[in-house]
Amino acid sequence: MSPLRLGALFRRVVAEIRRDRPSLALLFIAPVLVTGLLTFILREGGAPAVDAVLVNGMGAAGTAITSTLRSAFEADGGSLREVANEATASQALRDDTASVAVVLPSAPAGQPTIRVITYGLDLSGDANQLAAVQRALIGSFAGVGGVALPRIEHDTLFGTPSDDPMASFAPAMVGFFTYFFVYLLTGVSFLRERTGGTLERLMATPVTRAEIVIGYTLGFVLFAVLQVAVLLAWVLGEVTVPAIGPLPEFSLGLGVATAGSPLLAFAVVLMLALGAVSLGIFLSTFARTELQIIQFIPLVLVPQFLLSGVIFPVSSLPEVIQPFVKIMPLNYAVDGLRQVFVRGADLTVSELQVDLLVLAGVAVFFATIASLTIRRDVA
C-alpha cells in the first residue's frame, strides 16, 4: 500500500467535494433541517385536543359524566357539546366540526357499552383521539357513583376499525413511492439532457419549451402509469399460490382492502405523478450532477413524507406547521387515496374533488415554472 497514492486519493476526494458547494451545503444543511423538523414534530406535536360531540342516552347519570368529560377535554384545550342524536353527531364529524363522537347508551344495565365514533380515514390519528377519550371516560365513570366502568366500542364514520395497519398506511405508501421514483427518474433524465449537450441542440431547433415539458411529461407518465398499475395490483391484490411439491402454499400481494374504485385511486396517483415530472424538470435547473438531484430528496421529499400524514397523522402535527401541510402536494394525494381506499369515495365526494383539483393545479403550476427554466440561453 503506497502512502503517496493513498494521500493523492484522499486529497482528490476532499478537493472535489470541497469545490462542489451545493453538495457541501446540502451535506450539512439537509440533515440539520430534517432532524430539526422531526424533533419539532415529536416534541411539539402529539395527541390533538379532543373536540367531541356527545349523545346522552343515560339521563341524570349521563349528565354528570358529560360534565366531567367536558372538564377533562377543556383542560386539554378541547371541547364537548351535547347533540340530540347520533345522526347529528355523525354530521358534525362529517363537517369537521367535531373530531370524535361519544354515544352514551340509553339502557346502562350492568356494564354500559359506550360507542366512540371517529372519522376513520387515518387510523393512527383516530387512535390518538380514541386513547384520549378512553382516559377521560374512565376518569368520568370512576367519579360517578353507582355506574359500572364502561366497555368502550370503537366505530368509524367511514370504513371499519381495522387491526390491519396497512389499511390506512397503504394509500400513503402508494402515493409517496410513486412521487419519489417519478421525481428521481425525471430529475436525473432531464439533468442529463441539460449537461449532455442535447438540450442545447434541441433548443437550436424550432421546438418550443411547452413541447419539451409536455413531451417529457407524456414519456415519463407512461412509465408512471405502469409503475402505479403494478404497485396498486401488488397492494390491493392477493393471489394464493397452491403448494407445489416441497414448496408450501403462499400468497402474492398485500391484500389491502379498498372500499372505492381502484381506477379512481389510479387517477389520484397519476395527478401526483404529473406534478412530480414537472418538479423533477424544475429542480434539475439547480443541479449540476446526479448526486445533487439525489441531495434534493431530504429538502423536498422528506418534509412531504413527514408532513403529509404518511407516518404522523396530520392532526397530531404542531399548529405552526399546519399551514405548510396545506401546500404539500403529497398531503392531497394521501388524503385522496384514503378517501378512495377507506371511505369508498367517488367523484361526487367534495373532499376527493378538492384533492384532485389541487393536484391538477400543482401539476400545471410546476409545468409552467419548469418550462420557464428551459431557456434558449441554456449554457
The contact set with another protein (CB under 8 A) reads 196-198, 200-208, 376-379
The minimum distance between CB 229 and another protein, in angstroms, equals 24
Q: Fill in the DSSP letter of residue 286.
A: G
Q: How far is the CB of 375 from another protein (least distance, A)?
A: 9
Residue 216 vs residues 73, 185, 277, 280, 376: alpha-carbon distances, Å: 53, 11, 8, 11, 17
Longest alpha-carbon distance in the chain: 89
Nearer to another protein, 126 or 193 (CB): 193
Least distance from another protein to the Cβ atom of residue 189, Å: 10
Residue 251 in 3-state DSSP? strand
Q: Would you state the cell numbers that stand for residue 230, as one nine-digit string?
A: 403494478
Least distance in angstroms from the C-beta of 287 to another protein: 18
Which residues are registered as beta bridge partners of 52? 80, 100
Query: What is the smallest separation between the CB atom of 365 and another protein, expressed in angstroms?
Result: 25
Nearer to another protein, 86 or 200 (CB): 200
Cβ of residue 215: shortest distance to another protein, in angstroms? 10
Pick 258 or 371: Cβ nearer another protein: 371
Which residues are within 8 A (CB) of 308 and not within 5 positions of it... i.e. 6 or more apart? 172, 175, 176, 314, 325, 328, 330, 331, 333, 334
In the complex, the smallest distance separating the C-beta of residue 30 from another protein, rounded to whole angstroms, is 30
Long-range contacts of 33-36 (CB under 8 A, 24+ apart): 33/298, 33/299, 33/303, 34/298, 34/302, 34/303
In the complex with another protein, the residue whose CB is nearer, 35 or 208, is 208
Q: Which residues have CB under 8 Å from 307's CB, separation 6+?
A: 314, 317, 321, 324, 325, 328, 331
Closer CB to another protein, residue 5 or residue 376?
Answer: 376
Interatomic CA distance for residues 318 and 48, integer angstroms? 9
Between CA 150 and CA 112 the distance in angstroms is 5
Residue closer to another protein by CB (options 194, 338) is 194
Distance CA 111, CA 190 (A): 66
Instruction: Decide: 291 and 21 in contact? Cβ < 8 Å.
Output: no
Nearer to another protein, 149 or 204 (CB): 204
Min dist. Cβ of residue 204 to another protein (A) = 4
Closest CA to 34 of 305, 289, 314: 305
Shorter beta-carbon distance to another protein: residue 165 or 196: 196
